[in-house]
Chains A and B, each alone.
Chain A
Amino acid sequence: MSKLKLIIHREFVAKVRNKSFIVMTFLSPLIMVGMITLVVFLMRKNDEKAKDIVYVDNSGLFEKTDFEDTESIKYTDFTALGIIETKKHVEEGSYYGVLYIPKKDSLEILASAVEFYSKDSPGLSLMNTLENKVETKLRNKKLTNLGIDLEQIKASKINTDIKMFNFSGEESSKLINGLKIGVGAIAGYLLMMFVMIYGTSVMRSVIEEKTSRIIEIIVSSVKPFQLMLGKIIGNASAGLLQFFIWGILLFVILSVVSAVFGVDVSEMQANSVSSEQLDAVKNASSGDKMQLIIQEILRLPILKLFVLFIFYFLGGFMLYSSLFAAVGAAVDNETDTQQFMLPIMLPLILGVYVGFATVMNAPHGAVAVLFSYIPFTSPIVMLMRVPFGVSWTELAISMALLLVTFVFMVWLAAKIYRVGILMYGKKATYKDLYKWLKY
């Protein structure tokens, strides 16, 4: 037992002291926040400059009021100048482009005859705006021609908003549904990343021991199984440490953000936001939207999510990293690992895809439930489902299956590992691995 502790300690220290670990742990959340800030900043910057657009309306259908300036587009009427002159003028001047509405016999022909000239290719959103503008105008024109009163159509418009409740009487909003998807997806994706990063780290550590030839000295002191287990647990602890640090950093950042937007965090945690409050917030200005989102995040079963994340992380990690360890033992260097990596990566990636494809639409559908039972995908898929509320029986089945499989896989991998670590200079095949199982 104390030997296992020694190994865990060494592996943990070796991992944590690694420069890349330190950089990943402290820098990546900052980089993430920085990148998001940068993207938001750039998007704003990008939109800041309004585009000057001139229009030439030969059809005479449009009025001055149809071309109202917005934040991003400014319109100028150049109809008087004529299209040829305008084009020349715009090409030399500082205007962005020309919208040309020719005179046509019918609205149908006109609909596909409108042209837009610009110096560079315009963005999608600009084109959408212009197309919408022209389309609305032409539709209205046509409706008037057909003798339909525009006022009547306006009056007939109804905004529908279905409010969602669960049976415990809590109102849930569409926003929270989106949040659930988001939180589940992040948790599942994070888990996959962790398993991959730390799994390959276990594998690399096994290969290092093989290539540095220390392995024979170590296994003359401890059992290969102890060494493998120590390695896995050591790396898992390093992973958990990293996760905790990220969690704390996230909490700090969240606190800062909520302080900036004036949300009382302690009140949120009481989970007692009434629906009136929610409505009030919903109807408030857009600055308070952030507040609403934070409120909704805090309404999720955070503790349950957290505990389950730890469980599925450990379970999934143990399951996969024992396979990674076996692969590391079977090869002499990292380039040889590829043939064995695919079968390990496949279920992981499948888990993420199945999660994204099924859980979003039907979190309790047959496929989603099935994949949250299969131990190779359950850590990811189940984590994605958890925010939508999964019954304890389902959780228990999934967890039990994961535990049983993990014990079996560790046993199986240990057999390959035991033989593989002492085999040098031979590229193992699947046949070899099968043979080693029987030694």
Chain B
Amino acid sequence: MHSKLQKSYACIVNFNRILKWKLLILKVINTFKICKFVFIRYSKEINQKLMKNLLEINNVVKKYGDFTALNDVTIHIPKGSVYGLLGPNGAGKTSLIRIINQITLPDAGSIILDGEKLAAHHIEQIGYLPEERGLYKSMKVGEQALYLAQLKGLSKAEAKKRLHYWFDKFDISAWWGKKIEALSKGMAQKVQFIVTVMHNPKLLIFDEPFSGFDPINAQLIANEILQLRDNGATIIFSTHRMESVEEMCDEIALINKSNKILDGKLEDIKRAFKTNTFQVGLKTANPKEVEDALKENFKVTPADFKLLHKGLALNVQLNENSSANDLLTFLTSRGEVQHFVELIPSANDIFIQAIHKNN
């Protein structure tokens, strides 16, 4: 009898113990869950803050039937930069841009925008000015801009507010009620630019943005683009005009025949492409002698720039174990140095060289 009671008591105690344990475990699990939730939430934000790249294109492949338009292309575009997407006609730039815009889907590879896998809702964070562009000809400027803004997810009121801001900025408010067909090409291009940027996208893609603009308006647009970058937007810039690449791009990628053949900071690429060649101009009594002496230590080719005074004008390439100072020391010992400039390859040179090498 007694033992039975004891047993049942023990049983209750046991049960209580188990219950306690269970509660404890549950508590621990809950805490863990909360921690995990907080961690994921903050890690996402931290991740976004720490993310150097706004857009990461990883191993993207696109095929049209038998034709490969993009072959395993990987490009990382840093936040807040102007990124030049360069390449000859038909290299695959437009295919890539269309994939970023989700107009077409890649056959393989992934695209990460600001730490998230590219999805339909990102459309609102991207602004795209295509090379082949136009507007509804018989629609009024204001109505059309409102329509396109609303398609990008802006409310009608918000779109109106922003449009008025941009129209005032470009001083084109008088066009609001005009039909597109009544505007000149340059005027329509301005409207087009506004439509592209008005929803304040994180990522802006400009494909030949200056075509159709006169130099004054082209400069206006260029400044506007740089302003947008300074305000935090990231810009992909595709063009064949190398001087604007020089002027605007922080980084570039070069695509040729469906492959990326080059990418990185413009300065780094220039450094990699430079040949350590200097243009030198020297005022000297006996140029022939100096030139022969130079040839002993350096690779010398004739140069075709004009010197103010009569003298020696040459392109001199340094050897592996000589520095610019060595050359300069040598020159100062032989005469008066008038001209000493390192030949840095232009974007144009790099483009042509890289494509030739690749072909």
- For the complex, what is the distance from the CA of A208 to the CA of B104, rounded to whole Å? 21
| Assembly CA distance A27 to B154 (angstroms) | 40
Expressed in whole angstroms, the Cα–Cα distance for A438 and B107 within the complex equals 13
Residue A218, interface by CB 8 Å: yes
Output the least CB separation between B232 and chain A (Å): 21
Cβ-based interface call for A274 (8 A): no
The reply to whether A221 and B152 form a contact with Cβ atoms under 8 Å apart is yes
Kindly state whether residue A14 has any CB partner on chain B within 8 Å. yes
The yes or no answer to A160 lying at the interface (CB within 8 A) is no
**Residue A214 is within 8 A (CB to CB) of chain B in the complex:** yes
> Residue A304 at the B interface, CB < 8 A?
no
Assess the A220–B135 pair: CB atoms within 8 A.
Answer: no
A218 neighbours in B (Cβ, 8 Å): 148, 151
Chain A nearest CB from B236 CB (Å) reads: 13
B147 touches A217 (CB 8 A): no
> Does B173 count as interface, using CB distance less than 8 angstroms?
no
Q: Contact between A217 and B133 (Cβ–Cβ < 8 Å)?
A: yes
List of B residues within 8 angstroms of A435 by Cβ: 65
Q: In the complex, are the beta carbons of B134 and A214 less than 8 A apart?
A: yes
Q: A227's closest neighbor in chain B, by CB?
A: B151
| Chain A: minimal CB distance from B68 (Å) | 14
B101 at the interface (CB under 8 A from A): yes
Enumerate chain A residues within 8 angstroms of B152, measured Cβ to Cβ: 221
Q: Tell yes or no: A222 within 8 A of B by CB.
A: yes
Other-chain contact of A220, B103, B138, B150, B192 (Cβ < 8 Å): B103
Q: A212-B137, A439-B64 are in contact. Are A220 and B101 (CB under 8 A)?
A: yes
Contact of B151 among A6, A213, A424, A438 (CB under 8 A): A6
Is the CB of A268 closer than 8 A to any CB of chain B? no
Rounded to whole Å, the gap between the CB of B280 and the closest CB of chain A is 51
Chain B residues near A223 (CB-CB < 8 A): 120
Q: Is A216 an interface residue (CB 8 A)?
A: yes
Judged by a CB distance under 8 angstroms, whether B339 is at the interface is: no
The residue on A at minimum CB distance from B137 is A212
B156 to chain A, nearest CB (A): 10
The count of residues in chain A whose C-beta lies closer than 8 Å to any C-beta of chain B is: 23
Contact of A221 among B123, B134, B135, B136 (CB under 8 A): B123
Counting CB contacts under 8 A, is A282 at the interface?
A: no
In Å, the complex CA distance between A221 and B148 comes to 8
A424: chain B residues at CB < 8 Å are 132
Residues in B neighbouring A14, C-beta threshold 8 A: 136, 138-139
- Asked whether A3 is an interface residue with its Cβ less than 8 Å from the other chain, the reply is yes
Asked if A422 is at the interface (CB within 8 A of a chain B CB), the reply is: yes
Mask, B147-180, CB within 8 Å of A = 1, is: 1101110000000000000000000000000000
B138 contact set on A, CB distance < 8 A: 14
Q: Is B126 an interface residue (CB 8 A)?
A: yes
Chain B 110-153 against A: per-residue CB contact (8 Å), 1 yes, 0 no? 00000000001001001010101111111100000001101110
Of A216, A422, A438, A439, the most chain B CB neighbours within 10 A belong to A216
B103 touches A216 (CB 8 A): yes
State the CA gap A439–B104 with chains docked (Å): 10
Residues in B whose Cβ lies below 8 Å from that of A290: none
**B64, A3: Cβ atoms under 8 Å?**
no
Distance, CA A213 to CA B137, complexed state (A): 10
Cα(A221)–Cα(B123), bound, Å:
6
* A3, A209, A438: most-surrounded residue (chain B CB, <10 A): A3
CB within 8 Å for A216 and B147 given contacts A221-B123, A221-B152, A422-B103: no
Q: Which B residues lie within 8 Å of A217 (CB)? A: 128, 130, 133-135, 148, 192, 195
Shortest Cβ distance from A142 into chain B, in angstroms? 76
Q: In the assembly, what is the distance between CA of A216 and CA of B129, in Å? A: 9
B240 close to A (CB within 8 Å):
no
Instruction: Tell me if A216 and B132 are in contact (CB < 8 A).
Output: yes
Q: Are B136 and A6 in contact (CB under 8 A)?
A: no
A310 to B: closest C-beta gap in Å? 29
A residues within 8 A CB of B133? 213-214, 216-217
B65 near A10 (CB under 8 angstroms)?
no
Bound complex: CA A187 to CA B64 (Å): 45
- The complex places the Cα of A6 from the Cα of B159 at a distance, in Å, of 14
A314 to chain B, nearest CB (A): 25
Give B181's nearest chain A residue, CB to CB.
Answer: A212
A6, B150: Cβ atoms under 8 Å? yes
B98 within 8 A of A: yes
C-alpha gap A208/B147 in the complex (Å):
17
Taking Cβ atoms with an 8 Å cutoff, the residues of A that contact B are 3, 6-7, 10, 14, 208-209, 212-214, 216-223, 422, 424, 435, 438-439
The contact sample of 26 A-B pairs, CB cut-off 8 A, is: A6-B147, A14-B139, A208-B137, A209-B136, A212-B137, A213-B132, A214-B133, A216-B132, A217-B128, A217-B130, A217-B133, A217-B134, A217-B148, A217-B192, A217-B195, A219-B101, A220-B101, A220-B102, A220-B130, A221-B123, A221-B148, A221-B151, A222-B151, A223-B120, A422-B104, A439-B64
The 6 tightest CB contacts between A and B, nearest first, are A213-B134, A221-B151, A212-B134, A216-B130, A220-B101, A220-B128
Given contact pairs A14-B136, A214-B134, A218-B151, enumerate 10 new A-B contacts (beta carbons under 8 Å): A10-B147, A212-B137, A214-B135, A216-B132, A216-B133, A218-B148, A220-B103, A221-B123, A422-B103, A438-B65
